[in-house]
Structure 1
């Protein structure tokens, strides 16, 4: 009987190659498959899905199966798949992020965007984040990652879909369970700080602030507050189909009849 091929798992993040959440995955998922890290050489939080188009990118092998790149999480997935890994991976796991990626954070997150890039390239992908503040229970995140990795490797994911998973910062025994959720809304209040540089010139600092979370049942933020692990399926197609139909009905004739001079 032919021996079953071991799954190949690409690991990345936006906190950087030395981040404890990433190293926890590297060691802990080794029993699930062959794990290879390709991650940014420094913190790349909130870089979203940016690619480095105007500078050269260098790959450094730091240890066996651990590579750093002077680029973004999306860069790392691209180069990891195309140049570093021996073949196309069976799964991409991004994280474990130190801090939640809930609601509108999804649009800013380098962690989530790494999973998005993997999905674009045809690889089942998930992003994992620990909600709350440190010290973080990465052991809980690892248990979730193992469970979800086995589930995805066995059953796959729907076409053009990746998962954004948020885990309450609790011990495994304190987790209420897992729930499929929808993306909620989150707005940061007082996130823009106006300061002065050493020469007295005005400058601005973006970050921090107090998140205002949507507390509606079934959303990612609501369920993590209830100590559930939130699993939100994200679709690559960003089209608003309800608006597509309503705008076509409301504006269609005017758009069709407009002549540019």
Structure 2
């Protein structure tokens, strides 16, 4: 199996390196990741500056761009197409609304856009404690990998996987989940730099709001690996009829 591996935490992040170490025991892996932390980059592309590919060791590269850039450049390194794209292991959760901002999920999604089944993998801390068990998340990927070809529709496969930060033998199992929702994020933090100039920091994300049974938040909180099938179609399909009726009532030509 040929795998393109990327992330958003950067080429030197512990998560991607632990996952690469695990994957190379069962697959041919090319790693292409950002040269710095690009958390929150979402699906952004670098269009106004040239991109540079830097080799660090055999089949390990960094790019001076976003996770999405990395997938595009990484695919160019293959003489033949890879079998799939894997993004992670992210240092922290990518649950609920996080997927809209996540560079980890974006790299997987770009792999899917370009025609490959994809996994996005994240390790979720408990109570903001330092992350420890990257090995657990790597084992989750190795456990699922032999079964990818049996997925009902690999042509549309993007699985967002969140793993509790516990030892492997403490996982309670695997759950198929839907995305939950967070409360609105905290306000912008307004402060000054050492020279007295005003600066701002984006506020931290809100706590889980929709976190009931069946959500990714609930599964991870209960000690299960959360697996959420996602797609890039943002259409609110059930609102199409109501929107058409509203537009008709506006007497707007259609």
- TM-score normalised per structure 2: 0.92
Q: 2:13 aligns with which of 19, 25, 29?
A: 19
- Tell me, in whole angstroms, the C-alpha distance in 2 between the residues paired with 1:226 and 1:191: 29
Q: What does residue 66 of structure 1 align with?
A: 60
- Tell me, in whole angstroms, the C-alpha distance in 2 between the residues paired with 1:80 and 1:97: 19
> Structure 2 vs 1, CA of residues 159 and 87 (structure 1 numbering), >3 Å: closer, same or farther?
closer
Question: 2:148 touches 2:154 (CA, 8 Å); kept in 1?
Answer: no
Question: 2:180 touches 2:208 (CA, 8 Å); kept in 1?
Answer: no
Question: 2:91 touches 2:131 (CA, 8 Å); kept in 1?
Answer: no
- SS of residue matched to 1:182: coil
Question: 1:119 touches 1:161 (CA, 8 Å); kept in 2?
Answer: yes
> Structure 2 vs 1, CA of residues 33 and 207 (structure 1 numbering), >3 Å: closer, same or farther?
farther
- Tell me, in whole angstroms, the C-alpha distance in 1 between the residues paired with 2:110 and 2:62: 17
Q: What does residue 233 of structure 1 align with?
A: 229
Give unpaired runs (5+ residues) of structure 2. none
Deviates more, 1:119-128 or 1:147-156: 147-156
Length, aligned pairs only: 251
Q: What does residue 219 of structure 1 align with?
A: 215
Mapping for residues 1-261 of structure 1, pairs under 5 Å = 7-81=1-75, 83-132=76-125, 133-155=129-151, 157-187=153-183, 189-190=185-186, 192-208=188-204, 211-248=207-244, 250-254=245-249, 257-259=251-253
- Tell me, in whole angstroms, the C-alpha distance in 1 between the residues paired with 2:66 and 2:121: 17
Deviates more, 1:196-205 or 1:38-47: 196-205
- Tell me, in whole angstroms, the C-alpha distance in 1 between the residues paired with 2:132 and 2:50: 34
Q: CA deviation at 1:32?
A: 2.5
- Tell me, in whole angstroms, the C-alpha distance in 2 between the residues paired with 1:211 and 1:228: 19
- SS of residue matched to 2:191: strand
Question: 1:22 touches 1:96 (CA, 8 Å); kept in 2?
Answer: yes
1:203-245 C-alpha deviation (Å, 9 max, x unpaired): 2111436523422110001110000000000012111110112
1:20-74 C-alpha deviation (Å, 9 max, x unpaired): 1111111111233101101111110011000000100000111001011101000
Q: CA deviation at 1:96?
A: 0.3
1:86-120 C-alpha deviation (Å, 9 max, x unpaired): 32110111000010111111000000000000000
Question: 1:90 touches 1:153 (CA, 8 Å); kept in 2?
Answer: no
- TM-score normalised per structure 1: 0.90
List structure 1 segments (4+ residues) > 4 angstroms apart after TM superposition. none
Question: 2:3 touches 2:86 (CA, 8 Å); kept in 1?
Answer: yes
> Structure 2 vs 1, CA of residues 156 and 58 (structure 1 numbering), >3 Å: closer, same or farther?
farther
